[in-house]
Amino acid sequence: MAHEPKNFETLLADCKAFLSEKQLKAHFTLYQGYVKKLNEIEEALGKADRTVFNYSFAPYSELRRREPVAYNGTVLHEAYFENLGAPGQEPPAPFKKAVADSFGSWDTWIADVKAIVGSGHGWCLTTYDFNFMKVRNNFVQGEHHVGLFPNQAVLIAIDAWEHAYFLDYGTAKADYLAGVLNHLNWKAIEKRLQWTLLAQSKAS
């Protein structure tokens, strides 16, 4: 069944203090492109000849090579748009405790997020790591797939690619990040943490 792009138009009002309509709408268009390509790839995989595969080239092999780009481009953008919202929300106590338990302090986590975003283009993901049962930051590069750790639940996704901010901020990436941190949708993030800890408790 085909994936449908989600509608994030409420962000035009919620985030207008730090992202223009032009910037956000351009980003929505890019996201919709990933959903379209994910549908194309999944449809083509459904019809592909699985008996013909090759390291250098075969249609099936190429579809599998490109699948993570469209898949991660889709789900990471959805995580990012869903964890943005109206400004000035307070991080919930359970999330602050989980971060402090894993990073030593809230400020260390914030400093680490800033350091990742400043390190280059890609994704800064704050995850719950099911391998080591802790909150972790994960710097994902390449085409939304290089460096992605396995067995992670994404709690916060921050898009640190130029297309996410360049129309509004140019090279002032730190100002864009400050806007993101002030517009995190903590209710959505808290719900992700609750689901994650529930899954962990059911598994153990």
Residue ranges binding Fe ion (CB under 5 A): 159, 164
The DSSP 8-state label assigned to residue 111 in this structure reads: H
Task: Fill in the amino acid letter for 202.
Answer: K
Distance in Å, CB of 34 to Fe ion, minimum: 9
Judged by CB, which is closer to Fe ion: 32, or 61?
32
All residues at 6 or more sequence positions from 137 whose CB lies less than 8 Å from its CB, including other chains: 109, 112, 113, 116, 124, 125, 126, 127
Q: Nearest distance from residue 167's CB to Fe ion, in Å?
A: 12
Distance CA 145, CA 72 (A): 7
Scanning 127-185, the segments in alpha helix (DSSP H) are 166-169, 173-182
Residue 186 beta carbon to Fe ion: minimum distance, rounded to whole angstroms: 21
Are 178 and 14 in contact, with CB atoms under 8 Å apart?
no
- For Fe ion, which is the closer residue by CB, 148 or 164? 164
Least CB distance to Fe ion at residue 2 (A): 21
* Residue number of the CB atom closest to Fe ion: 159
Which residue number, 37 or 96, has a Cβ lying nearer to Fe ion? 37
Q: How far apart are CA 141 and CA 161, in angstroms?
A: 9
Nearer to Fe ion, 94 or 170 (CB): 170
